[in-house]
Amino acid sequence: MELYELGVKQALSGIAKGEFTSEDLVKAIIDRKNSADGEIGAYLTFDEEHALRLARENPTSVPIAIKDLINVSGQPCTCASKMLEGYVSPYDATVISNLKAAGFIPAGRVNMDEFAMGSSTENSGLGVTRNPYDLSRVPGGSSGGSAAAVGGNLCIASLGTDTGGSIRQPASFCNCVGVKPSYGRVSRFGVTAFASSLDQVGPLTKSVEDAAILMKALAGHDERDGTTPRESVPDYLAELQGASMKGVKIGIAKEYFNVAGLDPEVKRITDSAIKMCEDAGAEIVEVSLPHTEYAMAVYYIIAPAEASANLARFDGVRYGHRSEKAVDVFSLYCKSRAEGFGPEVKRRIIMGTYVLSSGYYDAYYGRAQKVRTLIKRDFDEAFTKVDALLSPCAPTSAFAFGEKHDPLTMYLNDLYTIPSSLAGVCASSVPAGFTADTKMPVGVQFICGGFEEAKLLRISKAFEDISPVKAARGI
């Protein structure tokens, strides 16, 4: 086995046994990137000297690829936007200092949809990322670089962010394990904000154990993010001991299965995942999430509203690209933003500004907040009956470049991930099979209640153990 094929647990144990050092790992990843990433395009930048220096300073550490919206001191942080091309971060995000304290180092910056808006990484303003399982297909998004790097064995593990599905859907498309933590479980300090009431950082990995190790490193209270409570962080890896489906109550939400766009192959794989859970001793319970049909509309009011506020700071004065064609202050703002932002980001800013404008605020934003509460209550109610929900992660497997060219079709790909994001609960994507026709990976989603990551990971591990496919390894 090559060093770049290792997961986190294997890398930590190899280092502990003295079989190799952190520097060896970083060198192996650099070689692999140089030979294989030309086609895949997972990395936007990779400061080899920086990664090698950190590895020499911390010889027992494991390198992790970082989505290009998480700040690492001295490194670019472009959010895959021309707006931030050339920006170098002066500080580490809390997740980066947490990783370093736990024996990991940041190595390489991976591609994404611009400002995390998208589901295919086609909205990146800085590069194309291809699915390592089929180069004619997208890797998913917005954490497409993070998923392609793990799925293509271009890293040991990566960090992504998830606002409405951006860890889980690319994990499903690239055969990785992905975990979206509960809102508030992981600090957002130093993570460029998209929609602040939804954003969470989480791991994309080659196994559930690896995700548990990284979750332990990432999670916890941060005085610089007031949404992170002082709740203690369990030892998620130790909690996986004896993970089993026996007696686990798995909820199947009926609203998730009579969906028009659900691909028959994804349905087949999800149905067989449910059957496998049942055969392994789980109890399958039908539940209802009655407000599911409103989730998409609610998300596409709340997320753009928050984005329009968060992105106001990129004005060519305080941050970001500054137009050279400006003649006065007003045209400096207009031209800098027109030149710096790509089309999807502009669309979100316009939608967000509209729903917040006076006269429309109550009708759109105010109402969306109320329906969001109803969606959250659906989940609270379901979790009085079941331990976890199981659903498809996305209605399709990885699609071809350009296939979903109208924005609405693209938005609908997040049908299964958006409701749990609005509810603030935790969810994972775990590899479950390959489509018979296109031979593309498909993950299933498990959803647990808020701050129930230990349970989520245990159930995900129990599924991984019975799943017919294993994540990423050996491609």
Q: Which two tokens stand for residue 245?
A: 């489906």
The contacts of residue 369 (CB under 8 Å, 6+ apart) are 302
Q: How far is the CB of 189 from ligand GLN (least distance, A)?
A: 18
Which residue's Cβ has the minimum distance to ligand GLN?
166
Backbone phi and psi for residue 391, each to the nearest 5 degrees, phi listed first: -150, 170
CB contact at 8 A, 32 and 132:
no
CB contact at 8 A, 195 and 303:
yes
Catalytic residue status for 142:
yes
Give the residue with the Cβ less far from ligand GLN, 332 or 394. Answer: 394
Q: How far is the CB of 13 from ligand GLN (least distance, A)?
A: 33
What b/e sequence results for 173-206 when a residue is b if at least 16 CB atoms lie within 10 Å of its CB, and e otherwise?
A: bbbbbbbbbbbbbbbbbbbbbbbbbbbbbbbbbb
CB contact at 8 A, 87 and 77:
yes
Give the residue with the Cβ less far from ligand GLN, 105 or 415. Answer: 415
Give the residue with the Cβ less far from ligand GLN, 70 or 237. Answer: 70
Catalytic residue status for 429:
no
Radius of gyration of the chain (CA): 21
From 52, 58, 10, 57, select the one nearest 31 (Cα to Cα). 52
- Please tell me which residue in 9, 27, 33, 67 is annotated as part of the active site: 67
Q: How far is the CB of 86 from ligand GLN (least distance, A)?
A: 23
Q: How far apart, in whole angstroms, are the C-alpha atoms of residue 303 and residue 227? A: 17
Q: How far is the CB of 196 from ligand GLN (least distance, A)?
A: 12
Backbone phi and psi for residue 36, each to the nearest 5 degrees, phi listed first: -115, -20
Give the residue with the Cβ less far from ligand GLN, 194 or 365. Answer: 194
Q: How far is the CB of 187 from ligand GLN (least distance, A)?
A: 17
What b/e sequence results for 425-454 when a residue is b if at least 16 CB atoms lie within 10 Å of its CB, and e otherwise?
A: bbbbbbbbbbbeebebbbbbbbbbbbbbbb
Q: How far is the CB of 421 from ligand GLN (least distance, A)?
A: 7
| Residues in contact with ligand GLN by the rule CB under 6 A | 116-119, 142, 162-166, 194, 303, 414
Say what the alpha-carbon torsion angle 85, 124, 110, 33 is, to the nearest 10 degrees: -100
Give the residue with the Cβ less far from ligand GLN, 296 or 332. Answer: 296
DSSP letter assigned to residue 429: E
The identity of residue 314, as a single letter, is F
Give the residue with the Cβ less far from ligand GLN, 4 or 300. Answer: 300
- Please tell me which residue in 143, 166, 397, 420 is annotated as part of the active site: 166
Q: How far is the CB of 225 from ligand GLN (least distance, A)?
A: 18
Q: How far apart, in whole angstroms, are the C-alpha atoms of residue 64 and residue 9? A: 13
The identity of residue 36, as a single letter, is A
Q: How far is the CB of 143 from ligand GLN (least distance, A)?
A: 7
Give the residue with the Cβ less far from ligand GLN, 40 or 303. Answer: 303
Q: Tokens 């350009």 sit at which residue?
A: 402
Give the residue with the Cβ less far from ligand GLN, 28 or 415. Answer: 415
- Please tell me which residue in 142, 146, 308, 467 is annotated as part of the active site: 142
Number of H helices, E strands in the chain: 16, 11
CB contact at 8 A, 432 and 443:
yes
Backbone phi and psi for residue 111, each to the nearest 5 degrees, phi listed first: -70, 165
Instruction: Name the strand (E) or helix (H) holding 209.
Output: helix 208-218
Q: How many residues in total does the chain contain?
A: 475
Active site residue ranges: 67, 142, 166
